[in-house]
Every structure is written in C-alpha cells, then in structure tokens.
Structure 1
Amino acid sequence: MAGFRIGRGRGSDNRPPQQQRPQQAPPPPYGPSHGQYGGAQGAPAYPPQQQWPPNGGGHPRQGRAPHGEPEYFGDPHPAADPYADNPGHTRAFSINEDPYGHAATYHAGSASAPVGPRLHWKELLRGIVMRPGPTFHQMRDYPVWGPALTVSFLYGLLAIFGFDQSREEVIKAPFTTALTSVLITGVFFVIGSLILGTVTHTLARQLGGDGSWQPTVGLSMLIMPLTDAPRLVFAMFLGGDNPLVQVVGWATWLAAGALFTSMVSKSHDLPWPKALGASAIQLIALLAIIKLGTI
C-alpha cells in the first residue's frame, strides 16, 4: 500500500544531510545585489563624495552624508568667503560682535548712561526758566518728585488768592475754615497736576515716545506752577479781572505750551508737532482751570 511518510527534522527531506539545499545569504543592507545606478554587483549604493577644489575658498573639502547633510573636512577656520553678503549667502559673526557697528543713538528711558549729573533743585528751577532745552535733556532720566511736589503744593496754597471771589471768601472766613480751604486747594492742585502729567506721558507714549513716566510727570508738575507764577502775583494784588493780569495770563500760557513741547520732545525723543499734541490736554486744562478760572 502506497503512502507518504511524514516525519520531523532531517528525515522529512528524504535526502542525506550533504544533499540538502544550502541557506541563502542575507540581502545587502542597501538594496539588491546589483548597483543602484545600473552598475555591476558589489558597486556602492551611493555615488562617491564630491570634493571641492583645494583653493576654491571656504571649506577645503565638502561632501554629502548618506542622508543629504553636508560634511566638512579640513581647517575649522576657513578663509574668508568671497560670496559673503551677496544675495543667497550669509556671513558668520563671532559672539559679542556687532555686525552693524556701535549704535550712537540715545533713547530716553533706556539703560544708556544719562547725559549729565542730576541737577540740584535750585539749578533745576533756574534751568527750566533760563535754559529749558538743555535742562530737560539732562534731566530726562532723573525723577524730580521732591521739587515737583513741593512747588506744586506751595502754588496750590496761593492759587486760591488769585481769584477775586475765592480770595474774599477766605479772608472773611474764620481762621480754621480758611486754613482748611487753603490746604485742600494745595492738595487738590498736586493731585490734579499729577493726573494731567500722567495723561501727557500716556499720549506721548501712544505717539511713539520712549520716555520714562517719573521724569515726564515730575517736570510737567513743575512747568504748570512756574509758568503761572507771574500771573498769580499780579492777580493777588490787582485782581483776576484786571487787563494786565489777563495779558500776563495769556503770555504765560503760551510760554507753558512752549515748555511742555520742549520737555516732551526731549524726554520722549519726539518731533515738536507730536510733543505739542501730547501736551494738548494738559494745556487746555491749565487754561480752563487756572488762567480763566471757569472750572
């Protein structure tokens, strides 16, 4: 009875061990046995590395890695690239090297050194009146809270006597009531000038200025009482409705506009039209509250 013999191991092939089929060699790691570019068996799967001429500038030899990355060989400090700064090429710079040279432009409020030393309060007040431009330029990075708060408060104590009706009410009132009214006026003037100075600083920033808040507000608080001091002196003796007082008031208001424009321009590095626009609200408030006494 014919049949098939099924077995395990070596006996399943029905051939002696020396006649069994030899095992095949594993395929090459980079594809079939023949070359990638149609060459003979055993040819490299990738073309040979490309070498640059030794005197062509840049790296002496450059090739391509198996995955396309550039490989550089030779001197780690190559000669200058003749194609640098041309379209499609870049230039390498070392650490801490400024490719554009040293910048000489000063920006207010930055970490650069100030123009000069801090002025004493006497020199500051004198400089605002006699030489406003250089004074604002020198003090644009220094806070002036001491002189600003003191001068503003002293002016507020006397401002109530610059209007006829207010002066008569204070003089006729009891001492305690009059003192309270004078002190409240001084405090209100300090707070009001602080708010108006902040508005001027904010507008200057919106228009592209780069100045600091403290110097801008402090200097604006000094400009308001210093420019109105001549009108206040005449108004205390001649009355607020006197024609001379009115003329002096308009003249000092124009002077205040010039000082505000100069201060904002120096503190925020702005042209004078933008500096005048930034201080417009403070000028209008100064005219309505102090010069005309309508509020």
Structure 2
Amino acid sequence: MPVTSAPAAKPAASPRRLLWHRLIFGLWYRPVDVLDEARDRSVWGAAMFLSLLCGALGTLGKDSFWVQWGVSPVLALEAMAIASGVTLVATLFLGAVTHAIARRLGGNGRFAPTTGLFAVVFWATDLPRLFLSTWLPVDSVPVRAAASVTAAFGCVIATLLIRGQHHLPTHKAVASVAIQMVAAVALLKFPPGSA
C-alpha cells in the first residue's frame, strides 16, 4: 500500500500593507479596526511625516511667520523647518513617555508601535484644527470649536490605542495618556493668549 505524504501546510499569509492614507484617515471613520491592523507595526514614516507636516501647518497659522516672511522668506522657512523638527522630537517624546507610563501600570506593549502610533493619532486627529488655523485667527470660534472636538476625539483614540497595545483596562489606559494629552492640548490647541 503506497504511503501518501500529508499535504504541506500553507504558509501564513503576510499582513496586508498598511498605507499611510488608510492609517491616517481610517482613524476618523474606523479607528478600532485601524488600530487593530496597525498593532504590531512600526509606523515611523507616517509618524515623522505627520509631525513635520503639522509643525509646518502650525507655523503657517502664526502671524509672526508672515511678518518674518515679509522681511526674509529664507529666514521664515528656516524657522518653519526648526519648528517642524522640534514638533517631531516633542511628539516622539510624548509617545515614549506614554509608553513608559503604560508599562509602569502593567502594560506589555512594544515601544516602537506604541510611540509611532501615538504620534500618528495625536496629529491625525489635530489636522482639521491646523487646516482651519492657517486661514482663520487662532482665537476664532470655528478654530476653537475644532480644537475642542479634536482634543476630545484625540484623547479617546489615544486611550483606545494604549488599551489595545498594552492590554490595559480603560482606566489605566486613560491614566497613561492623560497628563501628556492635557499638557499638549493646553499648549498647542489652546495656547496662552489665544482666549
């Protein structure tokens, strides 16, 4: 009787590539699915792109940039580049602090996905306010309304991110993101003197 070999096991399918537009815009209409899909991925490229873009948009919304532009466009662009770089470093620092707090509270997530996704969540949810602030005064009603809505939405998505990445209960996930989000919202979305 001939011996038949067992059928070879099919190789595990590689995960579908997560394109930037699906990651960034998907956070707005299907955040849980997108965060699940991105859970073990390092999204450094998207995080750096968003941080630099939002740093540039934030600079465009400041009157001081346009005053400097009238004097010297080169110096104004250099100031924008510096602001974008500082924004990138500060955002990654916030993500690293969030990861460290989550680990202290019993989380088990990895550093790279947590930090990169935190940066993406933080700036992707802030894009509407930044676009508005490039055209309207920072203390106008539409900009302040957008700041309130995007701040609340960003806190919710950041909490979902930490809860999923670190397998923490909701109250510990909130504790992991609360201090950084409140400080960043107060300084960036409602800066002193904007009232």
TM superposition shift of 1:219: 0.6
2:20 maps to which residue?
121
- 2:53 maps to which residue? 154
Match of 2:114 among 216, 221, 230: 216
Separation of aligned partners in 1, 2:37 and 2:27: 11
Residue equivalent to 2:101 = 203
Read off the aligned partner of 2:43 and give its amino acid letter.
Answer: V
- SS of 2:168's partner is coil
TM-score when normalising by structure 1: 0.58
- Partner Cα separation in structure 1 for residue 171 and residue 181 of structure 2: 14
Residue in 2 that maps onto 1:101: none
Asked which structure has the greater RCO (Cα within 8 Å, sep 6+), the reply is 2
Q: 1:268 aligns with which of 141, 166, 173?
A: 166
Deviation digits for residues 233-291 of structure 1 (CA, Å, limit 9, x no counterpart): 21111110101211111111001101100111111111111111101122123212210
Alpha-carbon distance in structure 2 between the residues aligned to 1:182 and 1:199: 26
1:142 matched to 2:73? The reply is: no
Root mean square deviation of aligned Cα: 2.0
CA contact (8 A) 2:69 2:75 kept: no
Deviation, structure 1 residue 168 = 3.6
Moved more, 195-204 or 222-231: 222-231
The DSSP-based 3-state class of the residue aligned with 2:125 is: helix
Partner residue in 1 for 2:176: 278
1:47-62 matches, cutoff 5 A: none
AA at the equivalent of 1:152: S
Q: Hey, what does 1:23 align to over in structure 2?
A: none
Contact 1:121 1:147 in 2 (8 A): yes
Query: CA offsets, 1:22-66, max 9 Å, x none?
Result: xxxxxxxxxxxxxxxxxxxxxxxxxxxxxxxxxxxxxxxxxxxxx
Taking structure 2 as the reference length, the TM-score comes to 0.86
Aligned-partner SS, 1:143: coil
2:31 maps to a residue whose letter is P
Kindly indicate whether the alpha-carbon contact (under 8 Å) linking 1:223 and 1:260 is maintained by their aligned counterparts in 2. Answer: yes
Aligned residues: 182
Secondary structure of the residue aligned to 1:237 is coil
Cα distance change of structure 1 residues 189 and 114 upon mapping to structure 2, 3 Å threshold: farther
Find 1:250's aligned residue among 145, 148, 154. Answer: 148
Contact 1:115 1:138 survives alignment (8 Å): no
Kept after mapping to 2: 8 A contact 1:170/1:181: no
- Structure 2 residue runs of 5 or longer lacking an equivalent are 1-11
C-alpha change, 1:134 and 1:214, in structure 2 (3 Å) is same
Could you say if the C-alpha distance between residues 266 and 114 of structure 1 is closer, same or farther in structure 2, counting changes exceeding 3 Å? Answer: farther
Matched-pair contact (CA < 8 Å) for 2:57–2:131: no
Aligned AA (2:29): M
CA contact 1:152–1:190 (8 Å) conserved in 2: yes
Q: Which has the higher helix share?
A: 2
Whole-Å Cα distance in 2 between the matches of residues 195 and 144 of structure 1? 15
1:131 to 30, 49, 57: 30
Matches within 5 A, 1:9-158: 116-158=15-57
Task: Work out the percentage of aligned pairs sharing the same amino acid.
Answer: 33
Deviates more, 1:144-153 or 1:116-125: 116-125
- Higher Rg of the two aligned structures: 1
Deviation at 1:226, TM superposition (A): 1.2
Over 4 Å off, 4+ runs? 113-116
Deviation per residue, 1:71-103 (Å, 9 max, x gap): xxxxxxxxxxxxxxxxxxxxxxxxxxxxxxxxx
